[in-house]
Amino acid sequence: MPVLVPPVLLEVLPVNRLPRLVLLSVVMVLVWGHRPASAEPHKDRCVIMVTIDGLANFYLDDRRSDVPVMRKLAAQGARAEGGMIAAFPTVTWPTHTTLATGTSPSRHGVVGNSYFDRATSKSVPLILDRILNKDQTVQIPTVYDAAHQAGLKTAAVCWPASREAKSLDWTVPDMFEADAWPKYGTQSWLDELRQAGWPVDKQNAWCNMPGGGVPRDWLYTRMVRHVLQKHTPNLILLHLVEPDRASRAVSDW
């Protein structure tokens, strides 16, 4: 089975305790999303789609990159030689929506991190789900919509263009505002995480401090572990952010 997940996940996921856990690269999840209509959903399995924002494909083969676990997973599973044909534009919101739908921005409707509204002559930001909900931005069904419709359980952590997605059973959106997770996240799950001692209420502070992507990714992976252990969903979407922040900081410098 194709396998490629970031090494930080391997530290926290109790793979030997999960029923037939399937870890797939983001590429292969699109294949999973196009299963024959007659196939029965496997409720004893979990597919995890992980994106590492800002991680260039050449890092995997660069000897200076300290990613031994990722290289081992690619060697033992599968990888896309020569990279992928990326969606255009190659920015966070369109790309993540393409991964979730298997279609281009021209079809799913998320054409940029923002778009220009000709009627008002103003730019409308889509990034960080500031204004619009998932159903207002994504124009076609996603893989988590299909999974939910098939009777499977779904979860998403910091997934772009997912605010108030009705087909996500456990979710926190990719938003910075202090009231965002309490307002748009799954409240029962957030309460469970607080009771377990995970600092979910630090999301806003970490989003707004230099280097905050490191503790954010640390928290997001532990939230994935929690939902796996307590609720065993069949599909999990996880968006890790620190490489993107770090690469932008180097570009600015």
Residue 21 has pLDDT above 60, yes or no: no
Query: Which band of pLDDT confidence, cut at 50, 70 and 90, is reported for residue 5?
Result: very low
pLDDT digits (tens, 9 = 90+) for 93-137: 999 999 999 999 999 999 999 989 999 999 999 999 989 999 999
pLDDT above 90 coverage of the chain, percent: 63
Which two tokens mark 134?
């998932």
Are 223 and 190 within 8 A, CB to CB?
A: no
Are 174 and 158 within 8 A, CB to CB?
A: yes
pTM here is: 0.83
Q: What is the pLDDT of residue 24?
A: 38
Q: What is the pLDDT of residue 70?
A: 87
Beta-bridge mates of residue 50: 238
Section 34-57 average pLDDT: 80
pLDDT digits (tens, 9 = 90+) for 131-177: 999 999 999 999 999 999 999 999 999 999 999 999 999 999 999 99
Please name the residue that has the structure tokens 């994504």: 138
Nearest partner of 5 among 250, 246, 225, judged by Cα: 225
Q: What is the pLDDT of residue 236?
A: 98
Q: What is the pLDDT of residue 33?
A: 40
CATH no., domain 7-252: 3.40.720.10
Q: What is the pLDDT of residue 230?
A: 96
